[in-house]
Amino acid sequence: MRTFAYSRADSVERAAHATTPTAAFVAGGTTLLDLVKLDVMQPSELVDINALPLKQVEWLDDGRLKVGALVTNTDLAHHPAVKQHYPLLSEALLAGASTQLRNMATTAGNVMQRTRCPYFRDPSAACNKRHPGSGCDARDGLNRMHAVLGGSEACIAVHPSDMCVAMAALGATLTLEGPDGEREVPFGEFHRLPGDTPHIEHDLADGELITAITLDAPLAPAGSHYLKLRDRASYEFALASCAAQVALDGDSIGTARLALGGVATKPWRCAEAEAALAGQPATLESFERAAEIALADAEPREHNAFKIPLARQAIVRALREAARLAGTTQEEQA
Ligand SMILES: Cc1cc2nc3c(=O)[nH]c(=O)nc-3n(C[C@H](O)[C@H](O)[C@H](O)COP(=O)(O)OP(=O)(O)OC[C@H]3O[C@@H](n4cnc5c(N)ncnc54)[C@H](O)[C@@H]3O)c2cc1C
């Protein structure tokens, strides 16, 4: 049995300044405690941050929505501002995990959740993410659930979050508090590609705490849809998912935002596909072309080639629904 110290942080400053490199913050505990029990993570100290005042959702003067790090996935999904102005985020959150888990899971914990790669979660397997330099059993192993985008020789583990896919499409900024003070990081730059250092998963320094995530001002009027394809209808991670948002300009697409989950090593914004959609008619042909572009660099392994057509279909279906909703009034959508 491994022992660890436990403490409760009573201020953001103390939480961010007092932690050691081997300490871990615990929020809802739904990821962390599993991984400690599996001996995948071995923190010397758990710093409980649940008493910190990071549970507010508030509009900023510039029209953005600031979400405290400790807002639960349930509260965020059902918050009136999110339901009305960011329905894409609400849909993505409600597609994740189960009611009980969402009641405990927090916004920052969701961003920081670790991969569900079975080789990462098995200390007897080779995994460069868990044990740098040990190899990757997934590359030639059971890789049906693994990434076709953003992988490397060292790692093809998928980032498992649904919420993060919506945030990647909506645009957001993380606020971090650390020993050197506060700083902000654009959401798209926070998660790292594995390259040859898959154990470095994000842009968070030792001791730094996520205090908030601020969503870009809503794109309005727009339609959006989060589509999650998986082996069973609920309580299952995505094989492929797509967050799509479309604002129309007459019969054409004015702005499109697109991100993928379940197929990539980080929440995957499809910038080239978005650019290709702008100014095009909102038709099946335009959506299919965007899907081709989004998956153009996909690299399948032995068991996961099916994810490429699956992700293309997810994009086409999500864009069709987003464009349909963009062409209807809010009253009709309700
Ligand atoms: C059975 C099961 C099914 C699931 N299914 C899905 C799914 O379908 N879709 C999906 O998206 N997710 C799914 N999840 C994952 C779930 O969403 C995450 O476990 C949850 O969001 C993590 O939040 P938490 O607050 O419990 O984090 P914790 O477990 O408390 O922490 C997770 C990590 O984040 C760090 N951390 C927490 N807060 C902060 C902070 N403020 N600053 C810096 N670091 C911090 C911790 O140190 C730890 O490393 C599932 C989980 C389980 C157990």
Determine the Cα–Cα distance for residues 55 and 106; give it in Å rounded to an integer. 9
Do the beta carbons of residue 196 and residue 136 sit within 8 Å?
A: no
Atom of ligand 1 nearest to the CA of 31: 29
Atom of ligand 1 nearest to the CA of 104: 26
Atom of ligand 1 nearest to the CA of 25: 47
Pocket probe for ligand 1: among 36, 106, 116, 159, the residue whose CB has the most ligand atoms within 8 Å is 106
Determine the Cα–Cα distance for residues 192 and 202; give it in Å rounded to an integer. 5
Determine the Cα–Cα distance for residues 193 and 153; give it in Å rounded to an integer. 12
Q: Give the Å distance between the CA of 323 and the centre of ligand 1.
A: 32
| pLDDT (0 to 100) of residue 179 | 87
Q: Give the Å distance between the CA of 117 and the centre of ligand 1.
A: 15
Pocket probe for ligand 1: among 8, 11, 30, 34, the residue whose CB has the most ligand atoms within 8 Å is 30
Q: Which amino acid is at 221?
A: P
Atom of ligand 1 nearest to the CA of 54: 41
Residue 98's φ and ψ, nearest 5 degrees, are -135, 170
Q: Give the Å distance between the CA of 311 and the centre of ligand 1.
A: 24
Identify each DSSP E strand in 149-262 by its residue range.
Answer: 172-178, 181-186, 209-215, 223-229, 240-249, 252-261
Do the beta carbons of residue 172 and residue 216 sit within 8 Å?
A: yes
Ligand 1, residues at Cβ distance < 6 Å: 24-32, 34, 49, 69, 96-97, 101, 104-106, 108-110, 112-113, 160-163, 209-210, 237
Give this prediction's pTM.
0.97
pLDDT in tens, the chain (334 residues): 789 999 999 999 888 876 788 899 999 999 999 999 999 999 999 999 999 999 999 999 999 999 999 999 999 999 999 999 999 999 999 999 999 999 999 999 999 999 999 999 999 999 999 999 999 999 999 999 999 999 999 999 999 999 999 999 999 999 999 988 999 999 999 999 999 999 999 999 988 999 999 999 999 889 999 999 999 988 999 999 999 999 999 989 999 999 999 999 999 999 999 999 999 999 999 999 999 999 999 999 999 999 999 999 999 999 999 999 999 644 555 5
> 223-328 is classed in which CATH architecture?
2-Layer Sandwich (3.30)
Contacts of 287 (CB under 8 A, 6+ apart): 277, 315, 316, 319, 320, 323
Q: Give the Å distance between the CA of 109 and the centre of ligand 1.
A: 4
Pocket probe for ligand 1: among 17, 54, 113, 213, the residue whose CB has the most ligand atoms within 8 Å is 113
Every domain of the chain and the residues it spans: 5-47, 223-328
Atom of ligand 1 nearest to the CA of 106: 25
Of 161, 206, 170, 177, the closest CA to residue 68 belongs to: 177
| pLDDT (0 to 100) of residue 333 | 52
Q: Give the Å distance between the CA of 5 and the centre of ligand 1.
A: 21
Q: Tokens 């508090």 sit at which residue? A: 177
CA distances from 201 to 129, 189, 204, 241, 253 (A): 9, 11, 9, 21, 34
